[in-house]
Amino acid sequence: MLLAVDVGNTKIKVAVFEGSNLVERFDFYSSDLQKQIEFTLNKYQNTTDLVVASVGNIPKEAFLAFEKQLKIHFITHDSTFPFHNKYATPHSLGIDRMVLACGAVLNFPKQNRLVIDAGTCITYDFIDENDNYLGGAISPGIRLRYESLHHFTAKLPLLTLDLFKENLNAIDEDDFIGNSTSSAIHSGVLNGVQNEIEGFIAQYQRVYPKFIIILTGGDTEFLAKRLKNTIFANSNFLLESLNQTFQYKNQND
């Protein structure tokens, strides 16, 4: 069994895999890393390998502490990937974006692919049908947009996506004209994200008439219901791609 660990900007996401089958997933904060991994290894004692993809600030030593129990693997820029990295600054490309690109190539061969990861940041990654990673875009995610409106103004309240969901009866999610400060913030953040994503998709469509859209990240379920384009939505796509990247690396190194 394999323990796949995605260290993100906000949380650590962990999944247990048996072959290609995702057995269980856990999310937690960095302060709980040791306790959660110990708990998982105790629960799944047949785990033989742990693979890490990180864009966070967790030191490698935190994972190497478990190397007596299982083999530790780190996905880095020097790992083997099934695409050609055409990024102008290839070693600045986030490991999470490289893992997503790997998953897109392996799951959707010989197609143009746009991967949209809606998490702390919203990242866009485009890999063409010839497996060239061309680049994409990075913008603030939903939570960052709410927080920035509060932190960089004097009087705007701190709202969240959860508050929007709790007040759906009072706020029409299809009404873009906010008639209060709260509803105006929700409209600006959520319609802004939706229009941004659909705008990016339209830009790509002008150059690449046919491509598959993969939506993942923590806000996948919410956004998938609002977007008008046909997409493949899978909130576990990064973890599944990390498992596939590990398998691909083992077979091709």
Q: What are phi and psi of 184, to 5 degrees?
A: -70, -40
SS3 of 45-88: the string is CCCCEEEEEECCCCCCHHHHCCCCCCEEEECCCCCCCCCEECCC
What is d(CA 101, CA 83) in angstroms, rounded to the nearest whole number?
8
Cα–Cα distance, 224 to 54 (Å, whole number): 26
Complete DSSP assignment for 127-186: E-TT-EEEEEEEEE-HHHHHHHHHHTSSS-----HHHHHHTTTTS-TT--S-SSHHHHHH
For residues 147, 186, 118 and 35, what is the CA-based torsion angle, rounded to 10 degrees? 50
96 catalytic? Reply is yes
Residues 6+ apart with CB under 8 A from 217: 116, 117, 118, 119, 122, 141, 235, 238
Identify the three-state secondary structure at position 247: helix
State which amino acid sits at residue 151. H
Q: Catalytic residue among 6, 32, 96, 131, which?
A: 96
**How far apart are the C-alpha atoms of 20 and 125, rounded to whole Å?**
24
Alpha-carbon span 36 to 26, nearest angstrom: 8
In angstroms, the CA 147 to CA 19 distance is: 39
Q: What residues are annotated to the active site?
A: 96
